[in-house]
Structure 1
Amino acid sequence: MQQSVTMPSNVDGKLSVFDRFATATSNFTSRAVFFVACVIIVVLWAPSFLALQNIDTWQLIINTITTIVTFLLVALLQNTQKRSDDAVQQKLNAIADGLADLMDDLSAEHPGLRVDLAELRAAVGIEKREGA
């Protein structure tokens, strides 16, 4: 039975609206502009105590803003990280599969490769293929 492997070049490039939004958000938040905007918010917030005259309201404003932004960014960035991890895993699977095929082909000339091939298959979960 031949194992079905998705090659990196065959990965479906279609992204949902949420995935595209998460990618755009990740790209934006990883730039210096986003950090500068965060610093500006804190700089504007700090002297606002003089206008609010209530320390509880003053703290509540920054706590609410940071909590909401953090909560939403974690969800969006987790999405992009998961997709990135999946893509890396698919590439590693393709490399391991190709290496196993190469080792299998060369094992007739180099019998010591059979032990290494068995270890590779056991380590990454590649099933032995039957001849065509």
Structure 2
Amino acid sequence: INPCVPSPCGPYSQCRDIGGSPSCSCLPEYTGTPPNCRPECIISAECASNLACMREKCRDPCPGSCGAGAQCNVINHTPICTCPEGYTGDPFTSCFPKPPDVEPVQASDPCNPSPCGPNAQCADG
């Protein structure tokens, strides 16, 4: 008779027949002690705040989340994409260097400041 049929070990576990007695262990990738084996996480709240629960594992949610050139920071299990300083664009598609700020060209006014003396009027042209 096989002591592992039916398995006394609970979910996410394996049973081995050791000298006619069941020996239980958690499956690889699962934690705990039989019969309470469980995945590393089911929801992101079970992970550190800079990780998210993905396929029952606490992982960095940044890879593949942001666009080209964007920075990713994880806040409360959520990837936050931003363009770095000096860059612009949509951080979810791509960031590109900001064009240089162009100083508005001031129209030159030969009467400002006035080259004329006091009580005189300057006329351009």
TM-score, scaled to structure 2: 0.22
| Structure with more relative contact order (C-alpha pairs < 8 Å, separation 6 or more) | 1
Q: Please identify which structure carries the higher strand content.
A: 2
TM-score, scaled to structure 1: 0.21
Q: Please identify which structure carries the higher helix content.
A: 1
